Amino acid sequence: MNTGDHLAPKARQALAFSNEERIRYILEDRWVGYTRANEIITRLEDLLVHPKIGRMPNMLITGKTNNGKSHLVKHFRALHPATDNPAGQGIKVPVLYVEAPDKPDISHLYGTILDTLLVPRKPNEKEMNLQSQVIDVLKRIDLGIIVIDEMNNLVAGTPLSQRAFLNSIKYLGNQIQRSIVGVGTAEVLIALQVDKQLSNRFLPATLTTWQLDTEFLRLLASLEKMLPLRSPSNLTEKHLAMKLHAMSEGIIGELSLLLNTAAIWVIRNTKDGKPECIDKAALDGCGFIPSASRRSEANKV
């Protein structure tokens, strides 16, 4: 009988679950640390404790869609949860996470910040009043850093509206003297070039696509330990690693989706007496459609 020695402790415990419970476990969110992510988290930790100065350092986390940017900053937020801070003057919010609006609308962003902090606001309030309210609130709470995800939405606006949005963010950071972390695809780097001061202040940190190297093999080994399958899959073996890299296109979100899909297929289709593991047959039969194929089909519509 397999003891699950090839698995991490929580995944090993999940072997006692029913098949459907194991599937739900596989679909749960999970964090896998790796070298580049840990480097960026270290930089975020430095920003979190940075003393107030006239020109606060900011950061811009960029990378391809589904390559782990949002997952990383949400993991960082989970490491530093907000607290009531009864001994202080205001709540403690180490990481204020908000998503940028679908176009460069600074009033929308101000409203999102207030809503996230559960601060009442008037509907259709003027931008200037919202700005004053946001700055006042952020000065009164114990704030660490602000993370603005989906900053690439900037490109949905005109160059003029992009500049106005970015200038408002710069002004906000100057007023509250807190670091701001932008998160988005490469398009946001282009948008930042409209203001040299902003492009210099937002130092980039890129999550590149994965190469078929030792680091990728380490990632495969870590992910395999988290999937509650009864037999080892040996994902780091050359033929499987090459296939996984090609199917995922070196994008960590695609790799995670592929492995989850394959693991679920394995749980539902492995016959008694057969090893319950991810192999070539599982990868071919699980129904996963690579990103490039999905884009190709979309272009035919």
The pLDDT assigned to 25 comes to: 97
Closest C-alpha among 272, 271, 247, 273 to residue 260: 247
The pLDDT assigned to 299 comes to: 54
Q: How far is CA 214 from CA 19, 221, 237, 241, 290, in A?
A: 33, 11, 12, 11, 23
Under the banding of pLDDT at 50, 70 and 90, the label for residue 298 is low
Q: Which residues contact 122 (CB under 8 A, 6 or more apart)?
A: 129
The pLDDT assigned to 130 comes to: 96
Q: Are 277 and 89 in contact (CB under 8 A)?
A: no
Cα separation, 264 vs 286, in Å, equals 8
**φ, ψ for residue 157, nearest 5 deg:** -110, 175
The pLDDT assigned to 272 comes to: 85
Q: Which tokens is 269 given?
A: 């289709």
CATH number of 167's domain: 3.40.50.300
The pLDDT assigned to 300 comes to: 57
Judge whether 301 lies within some domain.
no
**Where do runs of H (alpha helix) occur along 85-158?**
106-116, 127-140
Q: What whole-number percentage of the chain has pLDDT above 90?
A: 78
Cα separation, 66 vs 260, in Å, equals 15
Span 81-95, mean pLDDT?
Answer: 86
Do 163 and 66 reside in the same domain of the chain? Answer: yes
- Give the DSSP H/E element, type plus range, for residue 155: none
In whole angstroms, what separates CA 97 from the centre of its chain?
Answer: 11
Beta bridge partners of 205: 61
- HSE (side-chain half, CA atoms, 13 Å) at 72: 33
Span of 186-200, 218-232, 260-274 with lowest mean pLDDT: 186-200
Number of domains forming the structure of the chain: 2
Under the banding of pLDDT at 50, 70 and 90, the label for residue 154 is confident
User: How does pLDDT run across 203-258, given as a tens digit for each residue?
Assistant: 899 999 999 999 999 999 999 999 999 999 999 999 999 999 999 999 999 999 99
Q: How many CB atoms lie within 10 A of CB 17?
A: 13
Q: How far is CA 72 from CA 30, 76, 183, in A?
A: 11, 6, 10
Q: How many CB atoms lie within 10 A of CB 209?
A: 14
**φ, ψ for residue 144, nearest 5 deg:** -95, -85
Under the banding of pLDDT at 50, 70 and 90, the label for residue 2 is low
Q: Which tokens is 291 given?
A: 């990103």
Do 199 and 152 reside in the same domain of the chain? Answer: yes
Do 120 and 192 reside in the same domain of the chain? Answer: yes
Do 79 and 139 reside in the same domain of the chain? Answer: yes
Judge whether 15 lies within some domain.
yes
The pLDDT assigned to 201 comes to: 81
Q: What is the mean pLDDT of the chain?
A: 92
Do 71 and 173 reside in the same domain of the chain? Answer: yes
The pLDDT assigned to 293 comes to: 73
Do 91 and 185 reside in the same domain of the chain? Answer: yes
Under the banding of pLDDT at 50, 70 and 90, the label for residue 295 is low
Residue 168 confidence (pLDDT) above 70: yes
Do 273 and 134 reside in the same domain of the chain? Answer: no
Cα separation, 60 vs 66, in Å, equals 16
Angle (deg, nearest 10), helices 127-140 and 159-176: 30
Q: Which tokens is 105 given?
A: 């609308």
Do 14 and 151 reside in the same domain of the chain? Answer: no
Q: Which tokens is 50 given?
A: 């940075």
Residue 161 confidence (pLDDT) above 80: yes
pTM of the model: 0.91
Judge whether 253 lies within some domain.
yes
Do 202 and 284 reside in the same domain of the chain? Answer: no
Domain of residue 290 covers 9-30+210-294
Judge whether 267 lies within some domain.
yes
Cα separation, 82 vs 118, in Å, equals 13
The pLDDT assigned to 14 comes to: 96
Do 202 and 64 reside in the same domain of the chain? Answer: yes
Q: What is the CA radius of gyration of the chain?
A: 22
Span 158-177, mean pLDDT?
Answer: 91
